[in-house]
Amino acid sequence: MQTTEDGKPVVACFVHIPFTKKAIEAWAKKALAPSAQVLSDGLGCFRGVAASGATHSAVIMNGGTGREAAQHPAFRAVNTVLGNLKNSYQWNLPCFRLP
């Protein structure tokens, strides 16, 4: 998710890949510019973005609930887009499955 400086979403990229460092590395080399700044929830595989030259920062939610993490200001744009996407599928498709 690319955002403006004030956190508004600009571009979202949805790709179905495994949560492994190797898969994230391969994706990052194709999809990220070396100047990209990546923010994640700290899952280990996201360290793979460094392979593209991008910088990676993690927001670790030690002991926080899933709801607290979802409401963290750093993730507001991505959570809004994901919520809107889920709602659009809920009303338009009887079932949404990944291949």
> Which pLDDT does position 20 carry in this prediction?
95
CA distance 97 to 24: 22
> Which pLDDT does position 1 carry in this prediction?
81
CA distance 49 to 6: 23
Residue 13, classified by CB atoms within 10 Å of its CB into exposed (0-12), middle (13-18) or buried (19+), is exposed
Instruction: Indicate whether this model's pTM tops 0.95.
Output: no
pLDDT averaged per 10 residues in sequence order, the chain, 99 residues? 84 89 94 91 89 90 70 82 78 60
User: What is the CA 34 to chain-centroid distance, rounded?
Assistant: 17
> Which pLDDT does position 41 carry in this prediction?
83
8 Å CB contact between 71 and 80: no
> Which pLDDT does position 59 carry in this prediction?
86
94 contact partners, CB below 8 Å, separation of at least 6: none
Task: Give domain limits for the chain.
Answer: 2-92
> Which pLDDT does position 80 carry in this prediction?
82
